[in-house]
Chain A
Amino acid sequence: MKKIVSIITIISIMFMLLVGCTTSAETNEADQDSQTSTESSKIKIGIIQPVEHPSLNQIREYIIKGLEEQGLADRVEITYRDAQGDPSNINTIISQFTGDKMDIIVPIGTGTAQSAAAATKETPVIFAAVSYPVEAGLVEDLSRPEGNVTGVSDAIDVKQIFDLAFEITPDIKTFGFVYNTGEVNSVAAVNKAKEYLDEKGINYVESTITNSSELMQAAQSLAAKSDAIFTPTDNTVASAMPVLASEAQKAGIPVYTGADSLVADGGFATVGIDYTVLGRQVAEMIKKVIEGESIENIPVETLKEYEKIINTSTAEQIGIEISDEALKEFKIVE
């Protein structure tokens, strides 16, 4: 009995500490990421992110920024939670959101979107950065979502990327793919790439990895077998992109990627996604819902703008010359 009393004491002390910290943290955080207000007339929006990640953070920031730009800053109350890479926390966060009667739930990423969709059939769920909403079971028809779920997909336009590749480096006979088999988005993008290359009659080889430490070997073996490498928006590859970039540069072959950040880290070129655009598009969609539009009239959107991005120092390293004329089309990173 004594033990139980002492434990209760310890736990309650911890919570008091926690609450103490919270009040001070709140004042600091208030400006940056959430406007905490107790007014009940405000529209409550819960944003959930699965893990700290530069692209995901950028999406969240631009959703909030986008809402401000739409003139909604005073009308909404944003709560933001992050599961810190622990999938079991996602359900806890979602049940808090539904418990707190959020008016709109905004999950960033596929897993969080699935949990949100599973948890509620009434609250509008507007996802951000789910590349393949149909494959993820979120909607059956992109153009006419039936339930309470819609959002903005960040599917990369695989065709555009390969068209770009054949335009700049037309001599490619074999493409090499490198990606993590555990990432849904990567697998789906690579499958689309395979379809497209089959159509065009171009060969491909692939190396799959399960964590970033395996990337070097995968990159070396691919570089030996292929004339160009393609990697989708793969988080595992992204975390060690410089490794892939340097192996490819050694072999003198270009790396086409699915995201702009991968080009910045030494990849060669992409027709990529700008996550600031994505965040703003989600904000626009939230506005529609606030204005009373029903979900079924809001089709799932893909990105409005794709950007052509090229890394000129990589181009120099692998000896590809691009005319100044052509360069005008690109956003350049060095």
Chain B
Amino acid sequence: MSLTSFMGAIELGLVYSLLAFGTYISFRILNVADLTVDGSFVLGASVSAVFALGGRPVLGLILALLAGAIAGIITAALQTNMGIQPILAGILTMTGLYSVNLMVMGGRANIPLLNKESLFTYAEAVFGSSAYRVLTLILIVFSIFVILNWFFRTQLGLSIRATGDNESMCRASSVNTDFAKMVGFAISNSIVALSGALVAQMQQSADVNMGAGMVVISFASIIIGSVVIKNINITVGFISVIIGSVIYRFIIALILTTNFPPSYLKLISALVVVSALSVPSIKKKMEFRKLRSGRLKC
């Protein structure tokens, strides 16, 4: 693997770790597999592209966060106020977002940003070095990490976590679980949208179909991360997500480096996720066996 593709894998790992942060909040903290992600990722990308095209890339990133939050609130409202099943609510929002994304992009399916100003061109001017993309992404991912880490220890953050752990008990202790969910989904999708927004500015184009498979990518990152580092608390949880996302990109990059028939790529990525998923269970079984054979004294 050359240095460029090594850096490329780290860049992509970092930018998609934001996506995984978002999914971590809905999947691990709120305990709902939120499929809105495929749509809100593109929503972020299209909002950021439209503003970058108009010469306001940073404003685009901020508005992408906002737009993502709105998408999350809609999914949450479908679940809480209208009693639609969580998975279905996510799918519905995602489906609707397809048209919204096309509208945002002014009916075009693709917005090119080649030679347009973006956050990364600003960063290049500031950092100057060839590693400006990685440096920018490290800064962004670190600040989001710090903010999330702080937020999920506040009163509201704790009530969101409690809602995911045990909703009925939470309600019984007079927590407004509907509100907690709404805030949780809003934050989750706003970070997903930020990820999409950064991807668009980094690869200098936004495409209405770029969200395909984002849920899978983010789950893979979360799962690989949780295998590498045991999630003892939420701080470690978020760190594991970053590491998982970078490892996933390295695996993909390595698969692509080899002359493996490209048509096997999806199967291999599925196998990677399956093996990461099955490690904890295999280890548990092995420990159980040891216990039975009496070699492990507790």
Contact = CB atoms under 8 A, between A and B. Distances in A.
Contacts of B11: 95
Given A91-B12, A210-B98, A7 B213 contact: no
B283 A187 contact: no
A87 B249 contact: no
A22 to B, nearest CB: 4
A86 B213 contact: yes
A110 B199 CA distance: 17
A6 B279 contact: yes
Interface string A165-188: 000000000000000011110010
Nearest to A34: B259
Interface residues on B, range: 35 or more
Contacts of B1: 96, 99
Interface stretch (A77-85, A216-224, A272-280, A322-330): A77-85
B230 interface: yes
A88 B114 contact: no
Contacts of B209: 87, 182
Most buried by A among B228, B256, B283: B256
B266 interface: yes
Contacts of A184: 108-110, 207
B261 A25 contact: yes
A92 B110 contact: no
Interface stretch (A10-18, A62-70, A251-259, A263-271): A10-18
Contacts of A92: 5, 8-9, 12, 249, 252-253, 256
Interface string A1-35: 00110110011001100110110011001000010
B227 A95 contact: no
Contact of A25 (B2, B16, B98, B259): B259
Contacts of B263: 52, 82, 84
Interface string B248-272: 0101111111111111011010001
B3 interface: yes
Contacts of A87: 207, 209-210, 212
B266 A88 contact: no
B113 A137 contact: yes
A36 interface: yes
Given A87-B209, A92-B252, A137 B112 contact: yes
Nearest to B278: A10
A161 interface: no
A99 B3 contact: yes
Contacts of B268: 18
A189 interface: no
Given A18-B258, A25-B260, A99-B3, A136 B230 contact: no
B257 A14 contact: no
A7 B244 CA distance: 12
Contact of B5 (A96, A117, A181): A96
Contact of A4 (B113, B213, B228, B272): B228
B205 A115 contact: yes
Nearest to A90: B203
Contacts of A299: none
A32 to B, nearest CB: 10
B256 A81 contact: yes
Contacts of B262: 52, 80-82, 84
A209 to B, nearest CB: 11
A212 interface: no
A182 B208 contact: yes
A110 B272 contact: no
Interface of B: 1-9, 11-12, 16, 98, 102, 107-110, 112-115, 199, 202-205, 207-210, 212-214, 217, 227-228, 230, 249, 251-263, 265-266, 268, 272, 275, 279, 283
16 contacts: A7-B228, A52-B263, A81-B256, A82-B263, A86-B213, A91-B8, A91-B203, A96-B2, A99-B1, A99-B3, A100-B2, A114-B204, A115-B205, A136-B205, A138-B114, A181-B109
Given A94-B8, A114-B205, A135-B112, 17 more contacts: A6-B283, A34-B259, A88-B16, A92-B249, A92-B253, A96-B8, A96-B256, A99-B6, A100-B2, A115-B203, A115-B205, A136-B205, A137-B114, A137-B115, A181-B109, A182-B209, A187-B108
In order of increasing CB-CB distance, the 10 nearest A-B pairs are: A137-B112, A95-B8, A99-B4, A99-B2, A82-B262, A118-B204, A99-B5, A114-B205, A96-B5, A137-B114
Interface of A: 3-4, 6-7, 10-11, 14-15, 18-19, 21-22, 25-26, 29, 34, 36, 52, 80-82, 84-96, 98-101, 110-111, 114-115, 117-118, 135-138, 181-184, 187, 210
